[in-house]
Amino acid sequence: MEFPRITNNCCVEIDFRQKNCGRQRIGGDVFLSRKLKEQRRVISVLSDGLGSGVKAGVLATLTSVMGLNYMSSFRDPAKAARSIMDTLPVCSERHISYSTFSMVDVDFENEVRIVEYDNPPVLVARGSEIIALERQQVQVNRTDKEPVSISLADFQAVPGDRIIMLSDGVSQSGIGSRALPFGWGIEKAGAYIRSQIEKQADISACELAAAIVDKAWYNNGGRALDDITCGVIYFRQPRQLLIMTGPPYDLKKDRLLADLVKSFPGRKIICGGTTANIVARETGREVHVMLGKIDPELPPDSIMEGVDLITEGILTVGLVARYLEDRRDPETLNQNAATKVLRMLLNSDIINFVVGTRVNEFHQDPNMPVELEIRRNVIKKIAALLENQYLKETSIQYI
Amino acid sequence: MSKKFKITICSGTACYVLGGAQLMMLEDLLPAELRDEVEIVGSTCLQACRRGDNAQPPFVKINDELIESASIARIVDYLRRH
């Protein structure tokens, strides 16, 4: 069985963490990313709206969505910046229209373009060193308003690089405190990022973003005085995951599943009792069901040599689809088979599904107390969510 | 020393939704006098629902005997009779 080839052996992992100012339920910072699959490009925008709460949220959302659209359709960042600034509504209290942004555009050869306006500078870490970018200032003329200057930079990313985007809630955290009278500052934040990477060389995008946001929160004495946001783009060796679910339609293909367990270069999950039995039979290995800790929502998971996780089939994948749809964080959920699958999905870059299409007729019995969906449809939904919402690469093969 | 009974509980989809979920707690719910005589293991799927003989899930296997429509009461009853 063939899986999609990985281009230049490097993939881009993007994640962000955020804390809203004070007790605001709506953030005034917005971080958005979009993958343009056909062009193999990824664009991320961090925008900080004036103030905090709803009004700031609207400004920042408008800015980041426009930023994404302009960056994906046009190559001229100055034009994009001008249109954004001309469009923003004027604040009724402060009589200015304002939101700051940083936009990062990564193309298929890992060429990076950065456009910034008034946000703290985007940091680039190569290994654990922060590298200095050459920035070019460009003047943007606006209708009826003073011209402003935006900064442009580009560089060639290599595996191991990280791009860190911060809102001023991070760089100004701790301001006025005894320890940091002038705030944390970009230098000290950079030093903190270095220390985090030195401590854990393969720290993931979400872990690093969480560490930075938590530190800024701590600098403020456990409060968010402004919206605190950090987005991280990490270029790294892709992590591959294989999910086998469902018995093959053709019995002769049972053997294929066993071969995959032995040969696949990455982590492996089996979702489905029968599928697990087939692999056990064909490889001569034993499956052990973990009856210890049980979440009443789902059947327990099992273990087998050479497979990272074995779960029940349709109920588990159904719940995984729901978790993905609701953007749930596996750390805040009841620990069960579905949260384990979720965690492995989020920690992988390329997810290959091998879906057996044989149907257990009993599942279609109208007396079943719950509706059991067709496996193929649920997997299609999961793959689409992973591609569009989580920017993962996926493949589905039916057997 | 091997126990007198080996109970295998099916945790496949059909068994689980038709009442097998409760069986997962069998160990805690067994009467004290039986607890030392049984060994409880799980199975990813006993494949019993695929036989097409109208037997109803949930299934458990006690030693080599398959029990359909299994419940805690039914299992305890079986153990007491044997």
Using a CB–CB cutoff of 8 Å, tell me whether A360 touches chain B: yes
Which of A291, A299, A360 minimises the CB distance to B50? A360
CB contact under 8 A, B44 and A302: yes
The predicted model gives A54-58 an average pLDDT of 87
Cα A395 to Cα A385: distance, rounded to the nearest angstrom = 13
pLDDT at A23 over 60: yes
Q: How far apart are CA A169 and CA A225, in angstroms?
A: 7
What number is the average pLDDT over the span A12-23?
88
The answer to whether the predicted template modeling score (pTM) of the entire model surpasses 0.90 is no
Write down the ipTM of this complex.
Answer: 0.85
Mean pLDDT of chain A: 89
Over residues B45-49, the mean pLDDT reads 90
pLDDT tens digits for range A293-311: 778 889 999 999 999 999 9
Rounded percentage of chain A residues whose pLDDT exceeds 90: 56
The reported pLDDT for the residue numbered A147 is 80
Q: What Rg, from alpha-carbon coordinates, does chain A have?
A: 24
* Burial call B20-43: b when 16+ CB within 10 Å, e when fewer: bbebbebeeebeeeeeeebebebb
Residues of B in contact with A371 (CB under 8 A): none
Looking at the complex, does the CB of residue A287 fall below 8 Å from at least one CB of chain B? yes
Per-residue pLDDT of A221-241, as tens digits, reads 888 888 999 999 999 888 899
Residue-wise pLDDT for A353-380, tens only, equals 999 998 888 888 887 878 788 899 999 9
Looking at the predicted structure, is the pLDDT value of residue A30 above 90?
yes
Binding-face residues of A in 255-274 toward B, CB within 8 A: 272-274
pLDDT of res. A22: 83
Question: CB B42 to CB A291 under 8 A?
Answer: yes
pLDDT (tens digit per residue) in B20-30: 888 988 888 88
What is the reported pLDDT for A300?
A: 92
Task: Report the side by side order of strands in the sheet with A228-236.
Answer: A11-19, A228-236, A161-166, A123-126, A129-131
Q: List all residues 6 or more positions away from B69 whose beta carbon is below 8 Å from its beta carbon.
A: B19, B56, B57, B58
Interface contact flag, A315 B45, Cβ < 8 Å:
no
What domains appear along chain B, each with residue ranges and CATH number?
Answer: 5-81 (3.40.30.10)
Q: Is A69 helix (H, G, I), strand (E, B) or coil?
A: helix
Separation of CA B40 from chain center: 8
Contact A312 B14 (CB under 8 A): no
CA distance A266 to chain B (A): 23
Give the mean pLDDT of A88-92.
Answer: 70
Nearest Cα residue to A47 out of A107, A119, A134, A124: A119
pLDDT for residue A272: 94
Question: Is there a contact between A300 and B42 if contact means CB atoms under 8 Å apart?
Answer: yes
What single-letter amino acid sits at A357? T
Residue B65 burial by CB count (10 A; 0-12/13-18/19+): exposed, middle or buried?
exposed
Quick check: A362 and B42 CB within 8 A? no
Whether the pLDDT of residue A394 is over 90: the answer is yes
pLDDT one-digit tens code per residue, A126-184: 999 999 999 999 888 877 777 888 899 999 999 999 999 999 999 999 998 888 989 99
Task: State the pLDDT at residue A135.
Answer: 94
Which has the higher per-residue pLDDT, A97 or A380? A380
In whole angstroms, give the CA distance from residue B17 to residue A306: 29
**Which of B12, B21, B43 comes nearest A296 by C-beta?**
B21
From chain A, the residues in CB contact with B20 under 8 A are 299
Q: Please list every residue in chain A whose beta carbon sits closer than 8 Å to the beta carbon of residue B57.
A: 362
